[in-house]
Structure 1
Amino acid sequence: MLRIFYDGECPFCSRYVKMLRLSKTGQVQLVDLRKDEAARAELEELGFELDEGMVVEDGGRRYAGSDAVAYLAPLSTPSDALNRINRAAFSKPSVARILYPLLRSGRWLVLFLMNRRMIEDGIDPSLARREIFATFFGLFSVFHFFNYAFEYQRFPPSWDMILVLGAALLMFFRPSSARVLFALMLVSTISTIVQAPSHSNHTIVRSAALLATGCRSSWRWPATTAYR
């Protein structure tokens, strides 16, 4: 019996697990962690951080987060476009680890916009807001790099843009790290100074707004997580 533990109050999560077509038809049990308190308590006792991602159990072994998605992907049948995309994108664990922070931040963003609480009662909502900001700041910075490289014919890229791209990619691997976010903010600010004033006024405004938002968020982060 394969069991998938997921967040039933997250529309994204619910739609994903219900549309997923697995080769183990009839042997899959979907467990809503919002309703099954016993399952939630058991997983928390085992050390699973349920707001970090879904959990999959099969044959006595459990997989969480990106490992859970990577485990399910090869079991997907090519029945529709969603399953084909899921199988192609997440079958390799290394790719799943890169892409999963985007999915997790998307879930947190949906819960935030819908004013719904996290699964774990004691979790600090500011941690979710921090990772949402960091992940999408990193994503925007990647787009910013390629926009300058191709739209403005700045290829090969300048050293400052290489630093921006490097910090942005690192952000995907460590979206909860305050140090990585600070590094991305710092190199973005340096890049703004290097480009000023002729290249792009909107870049100056963008960097100033992001720097102010990031500093405000960083100042309010709990001391226990400020240096992760």
Structure 2
Amino acid sequence: MKIELFYDKECPFCNSYAQYIKIKENHNLILTNARDSINQLKDFKSLGFDINDGFIIKVDDKKLYQGVDAIVFLNKLSEKKVFFPDNFFFRTFVYSSIKTVRKIVLFIFDKNSKL
């Protein structure tokens, strides 16, 4: 399975998560810095996926997942699991809090949180 993960490499949380997940042994995982892929981000946006709303993964050049769905999908495949339960609380409160903290951290580091 070919999995391409688009993430914000400037965000320390996003970068740490992307480096942490261990699915490379069983799948073709490609880590792509979204800041270097502006044309692809425009294509995603035309399909209703905005990188500013979270990770985007493309599976076998066919299926797209974003945000919570992307994390849950990757967590199911990963040998090093991060405890992200697929439930209402995580989807509604925890993930939105993570996105808010990301914006604050990027602001502190003088990085643009909008791609």
- Alignment TM-score, normalising by the size of structure 2: 0.84
Aligned residue number for residue 64 of structure 1: 66
Structure 1, residues 64-109: CA drift from partner, whole Å, max 9, x if none? 11111111111110xxxxx33x1xx325253540321122112111
After superposition, residues 60-99 of structure 1 pair within 5 angstroms as: 60-77=62-79, 83-84=80-81, 86=82, 89-98=83-92, 99=94
Aligned residue number for residue 105 of structure 1: 100
After superposition, residues 9-24 of structure 1 pair within 5 angstroms as: 9-22=10-23
Distance 1:67-1:96 versus aligned 2 partners, 3 A rule: farther
Distance 1:95-1:4 versus aligned 2 partners, 3 A rule: farther
2:101 is aligned with what amino acid?
G
After superposition, residues 183-194 of structure 1 pair within 5 angstroms as: none
3-state SS of paired residue (1:34): helix
Measure, in 1, the Cα distance between the counterparts of 2:73 and 2:90: 10
3-state SS of paired residue (2:15): helix
Deviation at 1:62, TM superposition (A): 0.6
- Alignment TM-score, normalising by the size of structure 1: 0.45
Measure, in 1, the Cα distance between the counterparts of 2:19 and 2:59: 18
Measure, in 1, the Cα distance between the counterparts of 2:25 and 2:46: 28
Measure, in 1, the Cα distance between the counterparts of 2:88 and 2:74: 14
3-state SS of paired residue (2:4): strand
Distance 1:26-1:71 versus aligned 2 partners, 3 A rule: closer
3-state SS of paired residue (2:42): helix
Unaligned runs of 5+ in 1: 78-82, 121-228
CA contact (8 A) 1:67 1:96 kept: no
Runs of 4+ in structure 1 deviating by more than 6 angstroms, as ranges, are none
Which structure is larger by alpha-carbon Rg, 1 or 2?
Answer: 1
Flag the structure with more relative contact order, 1 or 2, with Cα contacts below 8 A and sequence separation at least 6: 2
Relative to its length, the structure with more helix (as a share) is 1
User: Does residue 1:47 correspond to 2:41, yes or no?
Assistant: no
User: Does residue 1:37 correspond to 2:38, yes or no?
Assistant: yes
Q: State the identity %.
A: 26
Instruction: Give the number of equivalent residue pairs.
Output: 112
3-state SS of paired residue (1:44): helix
Superposition RMSD in Å = 1.9
CA contact (8 A) 1:71 1:91 kept: no
CA contact (8 A) 1:69 1:96 kept: no
